[in-house]
């Protein structure tokens, strides 16, 4: 569940966050009672919500019992931060506000836990939309959180990468021009390898190598009828950090794809080069799998 500030009563009653002291809350309670005594209705309006007298007084009592009143007050003062924490998908990422909080010396375990929950929702949404360029700052913040608060985010990213690997593996057997371009178009843009290279290698090195293996084999499977797509994918594989053996294969294939990409030729004329690509990959991957089994 997204963060929801308990302090919206303050706006309606013109109480400042600095007044969230035991005495301030007593004054707030009296102010609420006065509001109801002067009102002909059975509710008062606070923002977009209607409160009965009982609901409003209970809300004040919950504030009195809150263990994190000062943290709520800090968040409530910063409307950009508050808006994003409450709506981490639809509101813009408040990089400046978060940076100011992190360097202020004020962040607490409570603040970091609220931040981690919002980051998980934010990053999951934009990953599902393949908007990797929008994740640079959020991920930098996420990877600076206490390690225990990163687990859910790392698991979510890992599962999404595994899904990409599995989808590529299925496409190797049955490539489909129209469907594949829609499914894998994100692979040909710079922000994809930038995203992969930003991930902690200790956690993601294996699944990134799995992606590279399947991407290499996929380009081999489409080399005859989707030459430009194969070239564009390999162009980004060049920029992706992976095992040296895979990198050597990618660089070799890239030279061949680049040489043949602009040169008009018949299928027969280009076949020898492409078949060399396939055999190099197959042999290297067999060696890799053999080594990894020990």
Average pLDDT over residues 157-181: 92
Window from 54-63, 196-205, 237-246 with minimum mean pLDDT: 54-63
Q: What is the DSSP string of the chain?
A: -----S-HHHHHHT--GGG-SHHHHHHHHHHHHHHHHH-SSSEEEETTEEEEHHHHHHHHHHHHH-S-HHHHHHHHH-HHHHHHHH-TTTSPP-HHHHHHHHHTT---HHHHHHHHHHHHHHHHHHHHTT-GGGGHHHHHHHTTS-GGGTHHHHHHHHHHHHHHHHHHHHHHHS--HHHHHHHHGGGGSTHHHHHHHHS-HHHHHHHHHHHHHHHHHHHHHTTTT-HHHHHHHHHHHTTS---HHHHHHHHHHHHHHHHHHSS---HHHHHHHHHHHHHHHHHHHHHHHHHHT-
Mean per-residue pLDDT, 251-273 = 65
Residue whose C-alpha is closest to residue 211's, from 228, 192, 189? 192
Q: How far is Cα of residue 131 from the mean position of the Cα atoms in its chain?
A: 9
Return the structure tokens found at 254.
């890239």
Joined together, the tokens standing for residue 162 give 């595994």
The predicted model gives 205-227 an average pLDDT of 94
Lowest average pLDDT, out of 101-105, 126-130, 145-149, 182-186, goes to: 101-105
Q: Read off the pLDDT band of 279 (50, 70, 90).
A: very low
12 or 5, which is more confident? 5
pLDDT value at residue 271: 46
Mark 131-140 as b/e (b = at least 16 C-beta within 10 Å): ebebbeebbe
Give which of 96, 69, 68 is closest to 80, Cα–Cα: 96
Whether residue 282 has pLDDT greater than 80: no
> Distance between CA 78 and CA 33 in Å, rounded?
28
Mean pLDDT across the chain = 83
pLDDT in the model for residue 268: 38
Q: What is the mean pLDDT of residues 126-147?
A: 95
Locate 110 and state its tokens. 């409570």
- Both tokens of 259, joined, read 């040489």
Mean pLDDT (whole number) for 80-95: 96
Answer whether 153's CB lies under 8 Å from 119's CB.
yes
pLDDT at 17: 62
Alpha carbon separation from 184 to 138, 141, 179, 254, 273 (Å, rounded): 24, 28, 9, 18, 25
The reported pLDDT for the residue numbered 290 is 36
Longest CA pairwise span in the chain (Å): 91
The reported pLDDT for the residue numbered 107 is 74
Q: Nearest 5 degrees, angle CA 138-CA 141-CA 142?
A: 85
- Taking 70 as the threshold, does the pLDDT of residue 292 lie above it? no
Between the two ends of the chain, the Cα-to-Cα distance in Å is: 45
For residue 37, pLDDT over 90 is answered with no
Tokens of 91: 């509101």
Find the mean pLDDT for residues 182-205. Answer: 95
- For 109-130, how does the pLDDT look when each residue is reduced to its tens digit (9 = 90+)? 999 999 999 999 999 999 999 9
Question: How high is the pLDDT of residue 244?
Answer: 95
């Amino acid at each position: 569940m997204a963060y929801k500030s308990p302090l919206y009563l303050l706006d309606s009653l013109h109480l400042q966050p600095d007044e969230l002291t035991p005495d301030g809350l007593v004054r707030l309670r009296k102010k609420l009672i006065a509001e109801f005594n002067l009102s002909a209705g059975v509710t008062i309006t606070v923002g977009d919500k209607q409160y009965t007298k009982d609901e409003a007084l209970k809300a004040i009592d919950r504030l009195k019992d809150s263990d994190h009143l000062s943290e709520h007050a800090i968040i409530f003062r910063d409307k950009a931060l508050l808006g994003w924490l409450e709506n981490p998908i639809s509101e813009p990422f408040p990089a400046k506000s978060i940076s100011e909080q992190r360097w202020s010396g004020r962040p607490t375990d409570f603040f970091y836990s609220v931040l981690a929950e919002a980051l998980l929702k934010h990053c999951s949404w934009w990953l599902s939309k393949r908007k990797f360029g929008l994740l640079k700052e959020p991920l930098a913040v996420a990877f600076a959180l206490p390690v225990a608060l990163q687990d859910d985010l790392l698991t979510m990213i890992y599962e999404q990468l595994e899904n990409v690997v599995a989808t590529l593996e299925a496409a190797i057997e049955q490539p489909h021009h129209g469907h594949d371009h829609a499914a894998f178009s994100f692979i040909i843009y710079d922000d994809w390898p930038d995203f992969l290279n930003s991930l902690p290698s200790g956690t993601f090195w294996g699944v990134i190598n799995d992606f590279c293996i399947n991407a290499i084999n996929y380009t081999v499977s489409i080399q005859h009828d989707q030459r430009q797509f194969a070239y564009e994918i390999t162009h980004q594989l060049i920029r992706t950090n992976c095992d040296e053996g895979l990198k050597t294969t990618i660089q070799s294939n890239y030279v061949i794809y680049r040489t043949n990409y602009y040169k008009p030729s018949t299928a027969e004329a280009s076949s020898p080069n492409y078949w060399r690509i396939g055999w190099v990959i197959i042999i290297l991957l067999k060696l890799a799998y053999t080594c990894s089994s020990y």
